[in-house]
Amino acid sequence: MREVFVILVGAVLVNNFVLARFLGICPFLGVSKKLDSAVGMSIAVTFVMLMATAATWPINYYILLPNFGYLQTIVFILVIAALVQLVEIVLKKYVPSLYDSLGVYLPLITTNCAVLGLTILNIDEGYTFLQAMINAFGVGIGFLVAMVMFCGVRIRMESGAKETPKHFADIPVTLVAASIVALAFMGFSGII
């Protein structure tokens, strides 16, 4: 039980993929303007992370590991791309408003380095299947926490946009705010 707790807390807070490892920055910056889009993207990424882990872990250990370990990255990217296409089809059919609000960022989950990084990290850390799934869930929740937190920061910044200097508006102030949020998460580094 302690091991599960350590993996979850480590994935959500200490080694947060967005704020500590700096993976998945594109959707973090691109979809964090509205709360519903941020939550929708986070749920989609979490689903893809869980499914990608469930698919890539056995593929790696039972098919690739003996002789074809060098194909790991290519196979993992293909699995992730297929899962993202599945999510895209389901969202387009059943939740078209979320599909429209995510826009180009939804297909970009395929190239989201956080998803690929997670699948490779699970293998490199030597996690069992259950540990890998727990880590994937924790990383997804960490992604959700980062997205929702930064969405709140961006909404607050936009409400005081008149106070932001003209040359510092939009992207520069967003990047500075993201770096401050990331610095705040560095305080969790000594927990585990």
Mean pLDDT, rounded, for 52-63: 92
Q: What mean pLDDT, rounded, does the chain reach?
A: 87
Mean pLDDT, rounded, for 156-166: 74
Residue with tokens 């490779």: 120
Tell me 11's DSSP state.
Answer: I
Taking residue 29's Cβ as centre, other Cβ atoms within 10 Å add up to 17
Res. 190: pLDDT tops 80: no
- pLDDT for 159 equals 78
- pLDDT for 161 equals 58
- pLDDT for 64 equals 82
Q: Each residue of 58-111: pLDDT tens digit?
A: 999 888 877 787 888 899 999 999 988 988 898 889 988 888 877 777 787 777
- Structure tokens, 131: 């540990």
Q: Worst-scoring range by mean pLDDT, 35-39, 132-136, 162-166, 179-183?
A: 162-166
Task: Provide the residue ranges of all domains of the chain, joining segments of one domain with +.
Answer: 23-149
Q: Which of 41, 190, 6 is nearest to 112 (CA)?
A: 41
